[in-house]
Structure 1
Amino acid sequence: MIRHWLVHNWFHHILVTVGILAVFGAYKVTLQRMGSQAGEVLKLLVVMSTTREGRMGSRVVKFIQNELGAKYDITILDPKELDLPLVRMPIHHYDDRTQAPQVLLDIEAKLKAAEAFLFVTAEYNGSVPPALSSLLDHFPPGHTLFGYKPSGIVSYSMGSFGGMMGTVPLRQLLNAMGTVAVPESVHVPQVHSSLDEDGKVQGNDHLKSGLESLDTQLGWYAHSMKEYRKIHGVPKL
């Protein structure tokens, strides 16, 4: 009797496990198929986070371009090149938008055109680098720029945890801006040795598979949201 119960229980667990694996496999195939059949190339805005000399973020951006450049129309938004001051007046506080600095108007146009965002972030004192938070604070939250569009996070550091602590407050900030931060993220530890100056992976095989997983989610969300926006528009947040 006990033997019969054990065999039955063991067989039941096998069936459940096989069923879960089958569902997950079908789900992953569906995600990949959606991305490949969606047709149009998505406009991906890659947003950098630091301005200091010798920064490692450039390596991470090149890595992303190497891996995803054929799949997306990629635009880079670099606060170092923009040379933005700390926030004095956000763009949405100007009564006459034509009086806003041209640099803010240019950034606004890039944010509006983007269909997905990828934030490449360092970790400053366990939080978001000020160059990134200040850049975002120049623009309004809600549906006009960020709403109903997905975002992904790739963090990095020269330490062992790849900037992981900084992603927690960044997720909160992105949610406040209105973008949907996808669950998957990529953390690049020892970035100075994991990637060379051209963004080529140096022995850390998990980086490519991690970015592939992030891309699977980001592409699925972006294509789905884009199609739904075409049909239904967007409600105001």
Structure 2
Amino acid sequence: MQGTVKILGIAGSLRRDSYNRAALAEAQKMAPEGMRIEIFSDLGAVPPYNQDAEKDTPKAVAALKEKVRASDGVLFVTPEYNYSVPGVLKNAIDWASRPYGDSAWEGKPVAVMGASVGMIGTARAQYHLRQMFVFLNMHALNRPEVMIANAAEKFDAQGNLTDEKTRDKIRDLLAALTTWTIRMKESQKVVIA
């Protein structure tokens, strides 16, 4: 694969001052050479999933699916609500996988990270996302893991990530995601003899 790896970044929070949205913005700035991260910022426009609406796909859903399909890979940045994935993120994942047989997620390389004010740093939400990746046939990057615990101590009032160890972990994740995406794309090429 030649050129720039195009990653779609999706933060699983609608909160304006979300640490996860801030972490995704920082990742976008830190993207290594050969990677470009586009942030999907319209998650709040995606309506609640309703199978009856699949025949007339809502515009926000069509936009999400188009962005996913145009990307080489995906980076989810998720908070953790009630030991799991936030409803708004699960809703978007469900919509982009429907109708059955028309999943935009199919075969996409994917990485996940998350920030939390707690000590576990979104570990349970990330685990639940990884379970979803199995059914969605997404190729999850296993390591490095980025679980930003005690996020209030690692971001300033403007949402800038100030913790250098966390910045290093994100850089490592992005470098690994670049390599992983290239490897997955190369393995999906069909050779005709």
Q: TM-score w.r.t. structure 1 length?
A: 0.71
Bigger mean CA offset, 55-64 vs 224-233: 224-233
Asked if residue 133 in structure 1 is aligned to residue 120 in structure 2, the reply is: no
Shift of 1:232: 4.9
Find 1:189's aligned residue among 144, 149, 152: 149
Question: 1:211-233: CA deviations, max 9, x gaps?
Answer: 23322331122102222333359
Match of 2:132 in 1: 173
How many angstroms apart in 2 are the aligned matches of 1:131 and 1:216? Answer: 28
How far apart are 1:72 and its partner, in Å? 1.9
**Going by fraction, where is helix more abundant, 1 or 2?**
1
Q: CA offsets per residue over residues 153-186 of structure 1, 9 Å max, x none?
A: 1111012221122111111112221111111221
The answer (yes or no) to whether the contact 1:120–1:155 under 8 Å persists in 2 is: yes
Residue in 1 aligned with 2:38? 75
Contact 2:13 2:20 in 1 (8 A): yes
Q: In structure 2, what is the Cα distance between the partners aligned to 1:116 and 1:167?
A: 17
| 2:96 counterpart SS class | coil
Q: Does 2:166 align with 1:207?
A: yes
Name the aligned partner's letter for residue 188 of structure 1: I
1-structure distance, mates of 2:159, 2:29? 7
SS in 2 for 1:225: helix
CA distance in structure 1 between the partners assigned to 2:158 and 2:2 by the alignment:
30
Structure 2: runs of 5 or more not aligned: none
> Residue 177 of structure 2 aligns with which residue?
218
Of 214-223 and 163-172, deviating more is 214-223
Distance in structure 1 (CA, Å) of the matches to 2:146 and 2:42: 21
Give the 5 Å matches for 1:106-125: 106-125=63-82
Structure 2: distance between partners of 1:191 and 1:216: 22
AA aligned to 1:57 is: N
- Write out per-residue CA displacement over residues 125-173 of structure 1, whole angstroms, 9 at most, x where no aligned residue: 1100000001111122768522222110111101222112211111111
Aligned to 1:58: 21
Distance 2:67 2:108 in 1: 13
Structure 1: segments with no counterpart, 5+ residues: 1-37
Tell me which of 110, 113, 129 is aligned to 1:151.
110
In our comparison, the structure showing a higher alpha carbon Rg is: 1
The match for 1:103 among 60, 71, 74 is 60
Distance in 2 separating the partners of 1:90 and 1:219? 38
- Is 1:40 matched with 2:3? yes
Q: Provide the secondary structure at the position in 1 that maps to 2:141.
A: strand
**TM-fit CA distance, 1:205:** 2.6
